[in-house]
Amino acid sequence: MRARDNPFATARVHRIRYRFLDGLTWEDLLARLKWMRWRGAIVGPEGAGKTTLLEDFEPRLREQGFEIVWLRLTRERPRFAPEMWRKLSSELFSGRFVLFDGAEQLSRWAWWRFLRHVRPAGGLLITSHRAGLLPTLLECGTTSVLLAEIVADLLDEPAAAHRAQARHLHQRHCGNVREALRELYDLWSEHVTSARRSKELRLRQSLLRRQLKDEGPVCDLLPLRPWPL
């Protein structure tokens, strides 16, 4: 199967937006964040949707009149460059809202330094694997039902058809939906490729059977090279 056709390709998965599990609404969440004086943390394990939720905040905070400043740290890039620290000091004011993905990457000392630098900003929302950096706005979690719904959306099929597989995958990846979807990418790719191989093998066998029965020349119909098994 071509990567571009795989329903679990990264681009398609990224189109799936955050879903609240417990009846929470965006109005509730924004009201809660405002009550927290626009400073809070989205907390949860890897693959629980923290980054997706943070991205979904961007248009809603713009509607509130904020300019958005994005900051991102990862395991591969766990520190801010020196010029970033300078920019933070000079460019933040009350009209700017900082969305910071991966705050757990900062050391305790760097975190306190960061808080000093972003004090002038009108708001700060972070994602973190652990609670305690800022008051928790929302704790992200996943369920196998949620995974089944996401899979169903990607395949454009009813969720019920995927519940059993989703339960198994969700358990195996300890609730990490991102990793579960990555495994599905591989499974889908292998499944379709082997299905195509089986189909070509069946075709080849039927052609050979025809040849054996001397039903006429079939060489022109055979693939140019033998199909590797």
Partner 1 sequence: MSELKILLRDEQRNFRGGDTVEGVAGWRLEKPPTSVEARLFWFTRGKGTEDVGLVNQVRFDAPQQEEGRKFSFRLPTEPWSFSGQLVSLIWALELVAEPGGDTARVELIVSPTGQEILLHRHASA
| Residues at the interface with partner 1 (CB under 8 A) | 1-4, 6, 9-11, 182, 185-186, 189, 193, 225, 227-228
Tokens read off for 44: 């949860």
Closest approach of partner 1 to the CB of residue 2, in Å: 4
Across the strands, what pairs with 138? 42
Is residue 84 within 8 Å of 180, Cβ to Cβ? no
How many whole angstroms separate alpha carbon 170 and alpha carbon 159? 14
Closest approach of partner 1 to the CB of residue 133, in Å: 26
Closest approach of partner 1 to the CB of residue 104, in Å: 21
Helix axes 163-172, 144-155, angle to 10 degrees: 120
β-strand pairing of 123-128 with 136-139: unpaired
67-72: strand order across its sheet:
67-72, 96-101, 123-128, 39-43, 136-139
Pick 10 or 94: Cβ nearer partner 1: 10
Pick 212 or 224: Cβ nearer partner 1: 224
Pick 12 or 129: Cβ nearer partner 1: 12
Pick 75 or 225: Cβ nearer partner 1: 225
Closest approach of partner 1 to the CB of residue 4, in Å: 4
